[in-house]
Structure 1
């Protein structure tokens, strides 16, 4: 049975979090003399001399409408990378505990674990890029605190079989972290709506992809209120700056514009899926639910360098397990995709 208290590190249970001036103050005021800010303002605007809301309640309240999740079930991080790091620091005892990842997958799960001296168990996906459930079951031990899953998966682009994910959620009693950075480009249903059914579920999303706000570095974690409270206990006091909060609030008013961008990118993705296989340098294009394609080519290193010489940057994933000979190609604008296609047509095999 899932027991959050048993998963949590002992020092985190005892931790008294840093209490910032804006944590202690609640309500409205005219004169702020509590946080040692510059009362005269700043060279930019008077507002930026004040510390931002440490728990970003206005952003969370607006997000709750968009996502259909109560604000107390939302954590905001400095990118999803901070969410990953906070989870590992909260629940994994350095030098003792481990996490499971399923490569090929997003690299920061392993990097964050390594930084925190937490062992990483790797259970590769099947050749069809799906979960190997028997191998995952065999890898789990008493010190496995969490399993990281990415769907749609990066770098393969496909969605994981939902039934397989639910098997893990129903039979594993550590945390299951479902990274949905690319969910907006997929027809798959988000696991955010399953939080009430699975107390051990944490869903990660981001404003960097479909929302086009990569420069603001705002990631989201959705989980039970108990897990969110633990994450808030650990994070730096003001981890989302005021400018980012303001810009995110403006962006969240433009849902239809975002939906239109998604429609355009999915249309362009379909065009690339149809045109790339006809090129002599392309051996296979893998199905994608994301805003990128994994493309197996005749000479990954050579084609990568060739495109780079033409000012076109893709990602060489040929050194990643199960992605040998592959490039990962982000779906660009219509013009950018035309440039890519034309360049590949002229590549001398």
Structure 2
């Protein structure tokens, strides 16, 4: 597969913006090339210089943890930026289409609308797994992307690995596997398969297990031709220096993050068992994420009653295959106990 043949014609011919840091990457004592404020910043730490546009130090630190070479790594302003750039690089507005598998993460559909790209929905099966026949029927010569969220949001389950491999082996476009919740799953990441599939894109994030949602830092791992295209069309300085610095510090605390992951998984199982014993709860779905999908009686009324008690969950009762369900993030032991007590009192 030649990835370059998948990209839009105007992107093939695009001459990317050249930054001051692209034109000079060495060391110097005086920088007068980028029209920055030479006096500094009105802060304790100076941010008057533009950041590294390719975030090489941060990517190197990520590479040591993920085992992915720098040239196969893209960093975005959240995973949402990578999703949007995939549309802009590979989907011709008004002509091409993408496939999503509801219920799933809503930004795939929002980005399709923003970029005027046809969205084809193939619902998951009742067990929340892929409808391979339905996906095959939806694909045509203008299908450029298939988004697979695993573990899936909002259902929490991992998608059967062999089903994903079937799509990777047979689809001629890009298969985007969103692994935002992979740290909480028993199923291993698809990162090891990057060298096997030229059409594989993996999305991960610092917003979940790493506890850095406010920084808005997402990762995309893919074969180099894909990464080169994303770097070509991204805003010149899409990751600010403060985010790069803070992420580098966070990466030094892997032990703490792993402890939080273990605690979250234990709390997920404990909360699931506690909820199963409540009369109001009709079903607790198995989860490989840091949340659980729970079917309850009178979902909207239950949601509103929890709001009145200062507890906010997510009402998913109107989402395909999630009728009557609330999505509940795993909190601290105290927060989870407060939730259970609140549900008992409703």
TM-score (norm 2): 0.99
CA deviation after TM superposition for structure 1 residue 61, in Å = 0.2
CA deviations 1:98-134 (Å, max 9, x no partner) are 0000000000001001000000000000000000000
Cα separation, 2, equivalents of 1:6 and 1:74 = 21
Give the structure 2 partner of residue 254 of structure 1. 253
CA deviation after TM superposition for structure 1 residue 3, in Å = 2.6
CA deviation after TM superposition for structure 1 residue 308, in Å = 0.4
CA deviation after TM superposition for structure 1 residue 7, in Å = 0.8
Cα separation, 1, equivalents of 2:45 and 2:170 = 53
Give the structure 2 partner of residue 265 of structure 1. 264
Moved over 2 A (4+): none
Kept in 2: contact 1:101–1:109 (CA 8 A) = yes
Cα separation, 2, equivalents of 1:170 and 1:122 = 21
Give the structure 1 partner of residue 204 of structure 2. 205
Cα separation, 2, equivalents of 1:256 and 1:71 = 23
Whether 2:4 is the aligned partner of 1:8: answer: no
Kept in 1: contact 2:204–2:218 (CA 8 A) = yes
Segments of structure 2 that go 5 or more residues without pairing to the other structure are none
CA deviations 1:14-39 (Å, max 9, x no partner) are 00011111111112122111100000
Cα separation, 1, equivalents of 2:33 and 2:151 = 45
Give the structure 1 partner of residue 72 of structure 2. 73
Give the structure 2 partner of residue 32 of structure 1. 31
Cα separation, 2, equivalents of 1:29 and 1:63 = 27
The aligned runs of 1:16-55 (5 Å cut-off) are: 16-45=15-44, 47-55=46-54
Cα separation, 2, equivalents of 1:299 and 1:28 = 64
Cα separation, 2, equivalents of 1:105 and 1:278 = 28
Cα separation, 2, equivalents of 1:219 and 1:7 = 23
Give the structure 1 partner of residue 128 of structure 2. 129
The aligned runs of 1:228-243 (5 Å cut-off) are: 228-243=227-242
Cα separation, 2, equivalents of 1:60 and 1:241 = 14
Kept in 2: contact 1:94–1:118 (CA 8 A) = yes
CA deviations 1:63-97 (Å, max 9, x no partner) are 00000000110000000000000011000000000
The aligned runs of 1:1-349 (5 Å cut-off) are: 2-45=1-44, 47-347=46-346
CA deviation after TM superposition for structure 1 residue 273, in Å = 1.1
- Stretch moving more, 15-24 or 208-217: 15-24
CA deviations 1:193-222 (Å, max 9, x no partner) are 100000100000000000000000000000
Cα separation, 1, equivalents of 2:233 and 2:34 = 20
CA deviations 1:300-330 (Å, max 9, x no partner) are 1000000001000000001100000000000
Cα separation, 2, equivalents of 1:318 and 1:32 = 56
CA deviations 1:255-309 (Å, max 9, x no partner) are 1110000011111001011110100110000000000000000011000000001
**Match of 1:48, SS?**
coil
CA deviation after TM superposition for structure 1 residue 46, in Å = 5.4
**Match of 1:239, SS?**
coil
Kept in 1: contact 2:104–2:152 (CA 8 A) = yes
Kept in 1: contact 2:148–2:178 (CA 8 A) = yes
Cα separation, 1, equivalents of 2:23 and 2:302 = 57
**Match of 1:254, SS?**
helix
The size of the alignment, in residue pairs, is 346
Cα separation, 2, equivalents of 1:169 and 1:279 = 42
Cα separation, 2, equivalents of 1:42 and 1:336 = 40
**Match of 1:47, SS?**
coil
Cα separation, 2, equivalents of 1:6 and 1:299 = 51
Cα separation, 2, equivalents of 1:236 and 1:174 = 24
Kept in 2: contact 1:3–1:173 (CA 8 A) = no
CA deviations 1:158-193 (Å, max 9, x no partner) are 000000000000010100000000000011110011
